[in-house]
């Protein structure tokens, strides 16, 4: 008798714009790679963002929430403006597409945003930086996602003693908020090259001082991990000067927001970048870094590799199915080695293909490797 296939349910939320073009590529890669490893995926396609608003009147319908909570992992394409809805300024705030993203993150209780910054050797020429800087770069940014400056209270507008208008936000971190994301960073370092660099501004900010203190305390539980601290301004320089020094870069919500976009430019660009939002009690959330990209929507030119690399993260960090993850990673590698490129990562002598064709080539590579 043969053992029955393992089964997973994935909530698939393609969303808006190029989200609907790149998501099918990721889904087909998951389906095929899974079947080669004896795994069946059930994909539950649900609405989110502007697409959900147009169909149901809200950007995050109840059914989407329910299917997401009942899944083993959630895959999200992109939410944002589209050719059809080029602005959402006319909508009340709670009905705008990006609300869908905020809601799902909150519903799943995720608090750590993982962004791998990896330079593919085939794409060295596609980077904004010179080869000697980007070669062999491979690090993981872990950004705190549920607290800090973007959520702290009090915030608002006021009037100061001079009668001037003021605007203010508060950065506040509790020890448990720092501890839980720091643990993810140290655990990740144990699986990688054993280094955590924690980025803060402890020379000036009390919230950073608490951050540094808690991360240092946690490091005592991980004697094998080499912990360093870096000020955020220094890290901005170091990321461009010598990015190879980083293994796991742990940082706060606001610093992570900025540094992950800086780091994005070390790789071939936004069409190559996957991300994961993890740490919640249930299913975790996986989404490419890029948005809906209305400027290229509907033209079949979007790069699906960010989406497919996101599927790899879903397998690796969500389902812990490393063998399937490796299969897809190898297929991407082979496809790039054969010279296939979408327009955004084109290098001299490349075979420029569209989104669909790139997807077909990845599936072919998956078959060939069987
Ligand atoms: P958001 O606010 O949703 O993050 P954004 O303004 O940051 O959106 P993105 O949609 O993320 O914009 O992308 C910025 C630009 O990068 C796009 O307009 C598009 O030209 C390009 N781009 C983004 N994703 C891809 C992709 N997968 N393939 C090719 N080009 C892309
Ligand atoms: Mg953006």
pLDDT digits (tens, 9 = 90+) for 335-345: 999 999 999 99
Given 179, 187, 233, 295, the catalytic residue: 233
Q: What's the ipTM?
A: 0.94
* DSSP state at residue 272: G
150 is catalytic: yes
Cα 28 off chain centre by: 20
Could you report the per-residue pLDDT of 7-21, keeping only the tens digit for each? 999 999 999 999 999
| pLDDT score at 3 | 80
Token pair, residue 118, equals 């990896």
Kindly tell me the sign of the dihedral angle through the C-alpha atoms of 284, 114, 172, 174: positive
pTM: 0.95
Cα–Cα distance measured from residue 258 to residue 61, given in angstroms and rounded to the nearest whole number: 31
Cα–Cα distance measured from residue 249 to residue 246, given in angstroms and rounded to the nearest whole number: 7
pLDDT at 369 over 80: no
Virtual torsion, Cα 174, 256, 294, 351, nearest 10 deg: -140
pLDDT band at 269 (very low <50, low <70, confident <90, very high): confident
Report the pocket of ligand 1 as residue ranges, CB < 6 Å: 18, 22, 80, 270-271, 290-293, 295-296, 302-303, 306, 344
| pLDDT score at 2 | 73
Atom of ligand 1 nearest to the CA of 303: 28
pLDDT band at 370 (very low <50, low <70, confident <90, very high): low
| pLDDT score at 129 | 83
| pLDDT score at 247 | 98
pLDDT band at 125 (very low <50, low <70, confident <90, very high): confident
300 is catalytic: no
State the average pLDDT over residues 255-260: 96
| pLDDT score at 1 | 60
| pLDDT score at 268 | 77
6 is catalytic: no
Instruction: Give the full edge-to-edge strand order of the sheet including 248-251.
Output: 39-45, 6-15, 73-78, 284-288, 274-278, 112-118, 138-144, 248-251, 195-200, 226-231
Atom of ligand 1 nearest to the CA of 306: 27
Q: Is the bond into 154 cis (omega within 30 degrees of 0)?
A: yes
pLDDT at 250 over 90: yes
Are 104 and 60 in contact by the 8 Å Cβ rule? The answer is: yes
Range in 122-131, 209-218, 285-294 the model is least confident about: 122-131
Three-state DSSP class for 295?
coil
Q: What is the Å distance from ligand 2's center to 290 Cα?
A: 6
Are 341 and 56 in contact by the 8 Å Cβ rule? The answer is: no
Mean pLDDT (the chain) is: 96
């Amino acid at each position: 008798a043969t053992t029955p296939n393992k089964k997973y349910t994935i909530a698939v939320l393609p969303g808006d714009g190029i989200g609907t073009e790149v998501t099918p590529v990721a889904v087909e890669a998951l389906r095929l790679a899974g079947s080669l490893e004896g795994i069946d995926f059930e994909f539950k396609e649900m609405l989110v963002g502007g697409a959900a608003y147009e169909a149901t009147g809200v950007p995050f319908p109840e059914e989407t929430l329910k299917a997401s909570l009942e899944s083993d992992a959630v895959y999200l394409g992109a939410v944002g403006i589209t050719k059809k809805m080029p602005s959402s300024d006319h909508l009340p705030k709670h009905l705008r597409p990006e609300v869908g993203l905020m809601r799902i993150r909150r519903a799943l209780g995720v608090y750590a945003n993982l962004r791998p910054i990896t330079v593919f050797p085939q794409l060295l020429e596609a980077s904004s930086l010179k080869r000697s800087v980007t070669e062999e770069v491979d690090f993981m940014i872990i950004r705190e996602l549920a607290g800090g400056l973007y959520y702290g209270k009090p915030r608002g507008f006021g009037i100061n003693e001079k009668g001037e208008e003021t605007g203010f936000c508060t950065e506040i971190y509790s020890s448990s908020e720092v501890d839980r994301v720091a643990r993810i960073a140290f655990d990740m370092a144990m699986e990688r090259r054993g280094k955590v660099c924690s980025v803060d501004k402890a020379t000036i900010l009390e919230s950073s001082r608490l951050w540094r203190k808690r991360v240092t305390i946690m490091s005592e539980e991980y004697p094998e991990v080499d912990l360093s601290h870096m000020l955020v301004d220094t890290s901005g320089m170091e990321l461009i000067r010598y990015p190879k020094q980083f293994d796991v870069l742990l940082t706060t919500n606001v610093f992570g927001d900025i540094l992950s976009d800086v780091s994005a430019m070390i790789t071939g660009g936004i069409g190559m970048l996957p991300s994961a939002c993890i740490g919640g009690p249930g299913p975790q959330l996986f989404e490419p870094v890029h948005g809906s990209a209305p400027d290229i929507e509907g033209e079949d030119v979007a790069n699906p590799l960010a989406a497919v690399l996101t599927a790899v993260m879903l397998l690796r960090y969500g389902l812990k199915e490393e063998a399937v993850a490796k299969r897809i990673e190898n297929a991407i590698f082979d496809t790039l080695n054969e010279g296939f490129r979408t327009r955004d990562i084109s290098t001299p002598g490349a075979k420029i293909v569209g989104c669909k064709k790139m997807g077909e080539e990845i599936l072919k590579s998956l078959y060939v490797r069987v």
